[in-house]
Structure 1
Amino acid sequence: MLNEFKKFISRGNVMDLAVGVIIGGAFALITKSLTDDIIMPLVSYIFGGIDFSGYFVRLGPIPKGYAGSSTNYAELKEAGVALFGYGQFVTVVVNFLILAFIIFLLVRTVNRINMKDPETEAKTPAAPPEDIIILKQIRDELRRNNGGTAAPETPPVS
């Protein structure tokens, strides 16, 4: 069982998946920072200083002894107040859309690099298999040895 596990783990696609997950996690952090630290502040500035994370509806009571602000989403959430944080949701959706668009661009670029030109493939005939080449050489040698009396060449079967 241990050998089977080693064999499974050492496969290329499993290792590629592990690397992809790790890089994806790091990439998600970069995208989150891009959204939180660059894009959303610009959007906030354009819309007159609006902080989207500040948009929420308090669904539950504030606990007794809470000394923080009643308008700070992060503090209320940390205190355990039930909140409907639609502003934070907008931020997460923007983050997702940015990440999805960047991944789309990456996949599109890789596909274009890997794509073969169909016209070039149609003009270049495929090389015959090695056994066919050897058989043709044998046929030609037999013709030379028999003085050209070998049977006429039959068309290849497709």
Structure 2
Amino acid sequence: MFFQDLDGTRYPVSRIVEVRRQEKGLVHVELSEPSKIVQAYGDLLDRVLWGPMTTIPASPGTYALDEDFDNDEQVRLIWRVPIIGWSINQAGDMTPIVARLGVAHSLSITAILHPDGFVADESGPNYPSLEEYLAQKQARLAIPGRE
């Protein structure tokens, strides 16, 4: 894996000894063998250092869930989009890689449905089944006094 300095020269990430943040989104990067300091854009270096390190396939039947609401803020539809893999960064954070075929709106993942039916909810507790997740989601959105 490589990063690029402000002059366009590419260096292997393995040569980085230290990174110091500077003003205006720049970083000073100290390199080893031979010792040298170069400047790079901080966001570019962040993507190199913390971006995807590896990907692994998802188990068949794993889905990202996204909800669509009607005018009364009631859950009208849950989009189930297949997760085809997981991107893992250097910090160990996992991000789902989704197949977006036929999904016409922007996806905002609110939960993950696992092949065994378990639902991991991003904003609350986890649920043993999709049905329980949907019931709790609807109950959380219920407006007092509405029949």
Under a length normalisation based on structure 1, what TM-score does the superposition of the two structures give?
A: 0.18
Q: Which has the larger radius of gyration?
A: 1
Name which structure has the greater RCO, CA cutoff 8 Å, separation 6+: 1
Considering fraction of residues, name the structure with more helix.
Answer: 1
